[in-house]
Structure 1
Amino acid sequence: MSVAGSSAGRRNTVRKRVLAVGALAIALTSGLAGCSGSGGPGSGGSGPAGARGDTGAKKAPAAAPQNAVRLIGDGSTAFTGAQPHQPVWRKLAPGQQPPQFVVFSWDGAGEDSQKLFSHFRKVGKRYGATMTYFLSGVYLLPEDKRELYDPPQHSPGRSDIGFNDVQGIRDTVRELRGAWEEGNEVGTHFNGHFCGSDGGVGTWSVDEWKSEINQAKSFVKNWKTNAGLKDEKPLPFDYDKELVGARTPCLEGRKNFVRAASQMGFRYDTSGVNDQIWPKKDEGLWDLSMQLVPVPGRAFQTLSMDYNFLVNQSGTTKGNPSMHEYWGNQMRDGLVQAFERSYRGNRAPLIIGNHFESWNGGTYMRAIEETIAKVCVQKDVECVSFRQLADWLDAQDPAVVAKLRTLKVGEAPPAGWKSFLAAQPAVPAGAPAAAKPAPQH
């Protein structure tokens, strides 16, 4: 079984993971954390979004032919042509209502004995949901090669989430391969998952982030050599090109990470805390951070992630079993309420983060699956990866995105979408500029 996937090793880090967000005027006292440090090695989605013409997507391309395969490096990765099942987005037509995007994403994705990665790949295909899997690089590095990892501000071979074993690497690569072929995205959750003030990612410099990113890439690009799995199939993508976004451990260190990522060709980051409004760019990257969502029955909001609901409910991964069903329902209902206020309001993308964990009896996995089943099948809804959402945003007129950002949380255009996004009258060529008002005295 995977070392990285062992419940004990991962859960020992849970108590470190609470994110301090002092100035938020919301009662989140202990409820705002980015990640538990778990994410054990795993799941994926599907990719039929490209077939939905009513939301601006053209037909998805077919998979690349076999003869397009070109091995890269030691054969751990390969170029296999364009990724299948990708939507080709169009600009919104004047007066057109935007689709409702929902992104489901997984921190530290890998496959362990819980088999949650493989399970959620099936869920994604069942409900037409494409997802993003943030792989922790050390999940492709075997324990006996741990010294190959040289983490910033820590000694070589150190990792707060452990490493993996050969079978765990084989299983994780199998799921990553299948997920990508189904249209899902493989991002990164970096490597050792260090949080806090003692050498945590929040203290790293831009250069230290670059080192961490390059090492995360290296573990993916050399897993065959490092794990002695020369006869396994390669991952079907060039990771230098595939990797365009990330979520930092515990949502710490975002400022310097974004600076490093913008210099390394990344396209988005999801390491901050946002309201449910349309995104903007930061240092050239789309800020697609998770969002504050309702906690039904409570007078505050929390972050749209399983761990944050847990902190506000039980404060432990092994809470009162008699409360498990209630806690799962509360998370599901909070996410659905967040979806409804966007869907019927400003149509801002809903961003959701998760871990492949069985905390509180697996109630949060049930909550996520039930949320996917409810929202991804609705009209004009696109359950997409972060990369696909960034593609759609880049395809739009920047002035349209800027106007969408003027809508507040849950606010629908007062006069309707047709009026709100109506075409602006063009100024005829050679027409005189509008007269300036006379100065006031």
Structure 2
Amino acid sequence: MAVAAGVAAALVAGLAGCSGSGDPAAGAGGPKRVGAPKSVVRLIGDGSTAYTGAQPGLSKPERLKPGQKPPQFVVFSWDGAGEDSQKLFSHFRKVGKKHGATMTYFLSGVYMLPQEKAKLYVPPGHAPGRSDIGFNDTEGIRATVRELRGAWQEGNEIGTHFNGHFCGPQSGVGTWSVEDWKSEIAQAKAFVKQWKTNAGLTTEKPLPFDYETELIGARTPCLEGRDNFVRAASELGWRYDTSGVNNQVWPGKDQGLWDLSLQMIPVPGRAFETLSMDYNFLVNQSGTTKGAPSMHQFWGNQFRDGMIQAFERAYNGNRAPLIIGNHFESWNGGTYMRAIEETIANVCGRSEVRCVSFRQLADWLDAQDPAVLAKLRTLKVGEAPKAGWTAFLAAQPSGAPASGAASPAVPAVPAGPGARRQAG
């Protein structure tokens, strides 16, 4: 896989923007998870995917009772998920199981396509067979399928990071039309739905889900092209997007999709905030994936402490979901992977905390009274209700907008070197 190559190019160009609990109860007082039927299997297409019944490991969303404090949701998500020689996909599956966390894995479709079949990919604005992150080989596809299969069976979500990861003003995803995005989405689906045929792995087990119904959200490459992507996703009936930039406030909807974007979080020891993603901390720390080894531990600790500070101000404040994005990469000696693992261990076992996927968060939001969500959106970053949660949510607010209405204006983030929308 060649994710790092795309990142290096982004660094040179200075591009803008890319991207639980300790038991199965998903947090103290959380709902019990529901197991899936084991006897339902229906192969789809060439047998690359299959319908196997309800996904196991998911919690049934429950509506808040009057006066009830919201749980603290934390979403850990991974751009360009795939298993390569670093074996980070399989590692973080183990980390998730250990700490009762489910996550969202945004699969790059070209990781399901062997190099010799590259020209099956026809990217908008580029020649057939072009990809800024390369393609895969047979063993890489076999390993990625194994991890995707296991991840889904453990309750994790399989989203998409699309295909070729094109960034920048020259034919990058920011130049794509709504129809271009629909073409990219259709191809990302096709590579998942036909990996057996394309890779010649006809005797392998299928992925245990129907990707047509599994795929409900995404993060765009480099956080570019969001406007037209959201229009396309809305027309396709998707449920969320996580390609924008938010503060740590309760989410609203944009064109019918939950806006679960990355968030501005503290950079400990600095006077600015940056996006809640490993790549953005990297840019503000070293500006390269191979910075000075003497700084690796400091940079990882700074990333970890920034995430935990962001968690604490939500947990003790407005309880807004914390959204974190990452990559399966060993940048700066793997220090960001260590930081993520330590953060998961720190927060996911706490009382009233639920480390979940975007799908599970969207399910919970959909289950709530729109008036309650509208009132939650009035709380600013880190702001706890002055009279306490019982009084704040004791009665339904009158005349509240529906959940799909525009959110109250979010205070602008102060300008500074960390306020750029860059990511990998």
Q: Check 1:316–1:308 CA distance in 2 against 1; reply closer, same or farther (3 A cut).
A: same
Q: Check 1:424–1:242 CA distance in 2 against 1; reply closer, same or farther (3 A cut).
A: closer
Matching of residues 215-364 of structure 1 within 5 Å: 215-364=187-336
Aligned amino acid, residue 268 of structure 1: Y
SS at match of 1:134: strand
The separation in 2 between residues aligned to 1:187 and 1:17, in whole angstroms, is 27
Aligned amino acid, residue 307 of structure 1: Y
| Contact 1:49–1:383 (Cα < 8 Å) also in 2 | no
Q: Check 1:106–1:425 CA distance in 2 against 1; reply closer, same or farther (3 A cut).
A: closer
Aligned amino acid, residue 76 of structure 1: S
TM-score, scaled to structure 1: 0.88
1:63 aligns with 36
The separation in 1 between residues aligned to 2:95 and 2:18, in whole angstroms, is 24
**Alignment partner of 1:175 is 2:147:** yes
User: After superposition, what is the alpha-carbon deviation per residue over 1:238-261, rounded to whole angstroms, capped at 9, x for unaligned?
Assistant: 000000000000000000000000
Q: Check 1:426–1:302 CA distance in 2 against 1; reply closer, same or farther (3 A cut).
A: closer
SS at match of 2:101: coil
Matching of residues 34-53 of structure 1 within 5 Å: 34-35=18-19, 50=25, 52=27
CA drift at 1:54? 1.7
| Contact 2:279–2:326 (Cα < 8 Å) also in 1 | yes
CA drift at 1:47? 10
The separation in 2 between residues aligned to 1:317 and 1:51, in whole angstroms, is 35
The separation in 1 between residues aligned to 2:357 and 2:26, in whole angstroms, is 15
**Alignment partner of 1:87 is 2:55:** no
The separation in 1 between residues aligned to 2:183 and 2:136, in whole angstroms, is 21
**Alignment partner of 1:15 is 2:5:** no
Matching of residues 100-179 of structure 1 within 5 Å: 100-179=72-151
User: After superposition, what is the alpha-carbon deviation per residue over 1:58-95, rounded to whole angstroms, capped at 9, x for unaligned?
Assistant: x2222321x31110000000000000011001110000
The separation in 2 between residues aligned to 1:301 and 1:417, in whole angstroms, is 28
Q: Check 1:185–1:130 CA distance in 2 against 1; reply closer, same or farther (3 A cut).
A: same
CA drift at 1:12? 4.0
| Contact 1:137–1:216 (Cα < 8 Å) also in 2 | yes
Q: Which has the larger radius of gyration?
A: 1
Q: Check 1:300–1:12 CA distance in 2 against 1; reply closer, same or farther (3 A cut).
A: closer
Higher RCO (CA 8 Å, separation ≥ 6 residues): 2
CA drift at 1:11? 4.9
Aligned amino acid, residue 62 of structure 1: G
CA drift at 1:120? 0.2
The separation in 2 between residues aligned to 1:243 and 1:225, in whole angstroms, is 21
Q: How many residues align?
A: 399
2:402 aligns with none
| Contact 2:178–2:232 (Cα < 8 Å) also in 1 | yes
The separation in 2 between residues aligned to 1:71 and 1:195, in whole angstroms, is 36
CA drift at 1:137? 0.1
Aligned amino acid, residue 253 of structure 1: G
> 19, 29, 46: which one pairs with 1:54?
29
| Contact 2:159–2:217 (Cα < 8 Å) also in 1 | yes
The separation in 2 between residues aligned to 1:288 and 1:260, in whole angstroms, is 17
| Contact 1:46–1:183 (Cα < 8 Å) also in 2 | no
| Contact 1:277–1:408 (Cα < 8 Å) also in 2 | yes
TM-score, scaled to structure 2: 0.91
Aligned amino acid, residue 287 of structure 1: D
CA drift at 1:34? 2.0
Aligned amino acid, residue 422 of structure 1: A
The separation in 1 between residues aligned to 2:10 and 2:89, in whole angstroms, is 20
**Alignment partner of 1:78 is 2:50:** yes
1:25 aligns with none
- After superposition, the CA RMSD in angstroms is 1.8
> 99, 107, 114: which one pairs with 2:71?
99
The separation in 1 between residues aligned to 2:345 and 2:33, in whole angstroms, is 22
SS at match of 1:90: coil
SS at match of 1:71: strand
| Contact 1:318–1:359 (Cα < 8 Å) also in 2 | yes
The separation in 1 between residues aligned to 2:342 and 2:28, in whole angstroms, is 26
2:405 aligns with none
SS at match of 1:68: coil
Q: Which runs of 5 or more structure 2 residues have no equivalent in the other structure?
A: 400-424
The separation in 1 between residues aligned to 2:290 and 2:100, in whole angstroms, is 32
| Contact 2:196–2:202 (Cα < 8 Å) also in 1 | yes
The separation in 2 between residues aligned to 1:231 and 1:109, in whole angstroms, is 23
CA drift at 1:423? 2.2
Identity across the alignment (%): 74
Aligned amino acid, residue 236 of structure 1: P
SS at match of 1:198: coil
CA drift at 1:18? 4.3
> 166, 173, 198: which one pairs with 2:170?
198
Q: Check 1:379–1:231 CA distance in 2 against 1; reply closer, same or farther (3 A cut).
A: same
User: After superposition, what is the alpha-carbon deviation per residue over 1:196-215, rounded to whole angstroms, capped at 9, x for unaligned?
Assistant: 01100001000000000000
Q: Which runs of 5 or more structure 1 residues have no equivalent in the other structure?
A: 21-32, 36-44, 428-441
